[in-house]
Amino acid sequence: QVQLVESGGGLVQPGGSLRLSCAASGSIFRNYGMGWYRQAPGKQRELVARISSGGNTNYADSVKGRFTISRDNAKNTVSLQMNSLKPEDTAVYYCYLGQLGNTYWGQGTQVTVSS
């Protein structure tokens, strides 16, 4: 089993920044992908950003140029630096880890962008 613990959400004004972090523990193998999804009220969960074990990244078009995903393989952590936040970024953000055909999820952390 794999456990994921997220931190770093909160309330921020438009144009501000937040950094989300996620730490994975448990039965983690060498090759695994990590990333972030988000879900706003009344909307489907959507991919925000992901990063492979080799460091390749993908971003949703809506966050390109504003968000940066990174990972520390030695610590099994993934982070999401979010800059120039907009009200439409308001959502619950979920960390995930994918390996061997399985996907594990964190509990979610609320990000609210509002003045």
What is the distance between the alpha carbons of residues 15 and 11, in angstroms, rounded to a whole number? Answer: 12
Q: In 3-state terms, what secondary structure has residue 64?
A: coil
Distance between CA atoms of residues 12 and 34, nearest Å: 25
Q: Determine the pLDDT at residue 21.
A: 97
pLDDT band at 29 (very low <50, low <70, confident <90, very high): confident
**Separation of alpha carbons 92 and 38, rounded Å:** 5
User: pLDDT, tens digit, for every residue of 61-113?
Assistant: 999 999 999 999 999 999 999 999 999 999 999 999 999 889 999 999 999 99
- Mean pLDDT, residues 28-47: 93
Beta bridge mates, 32: none
Q: Is pLDDT above 90 for 10? A: yes
What average pLDDT does this structure show over 26-36?
88
Task: Tell me the CA distances in angstroms from 75 to 11, 22, 23, one per residue in order.
Answer: 27, 10, 8
CA angle, residues 69, 10, 14, in degrees to nearest 5: 80
pLDDT at 28 over 90: no
Strand-strand pairing, 91-99 and 33-39: antiparallel
Mean of all residue pLDDT scores within the chain? 95
Task: Give pLDDT, residue 44.
Answer: 96
Percent of residues, the chain, with pLDDT higher than 70: 100
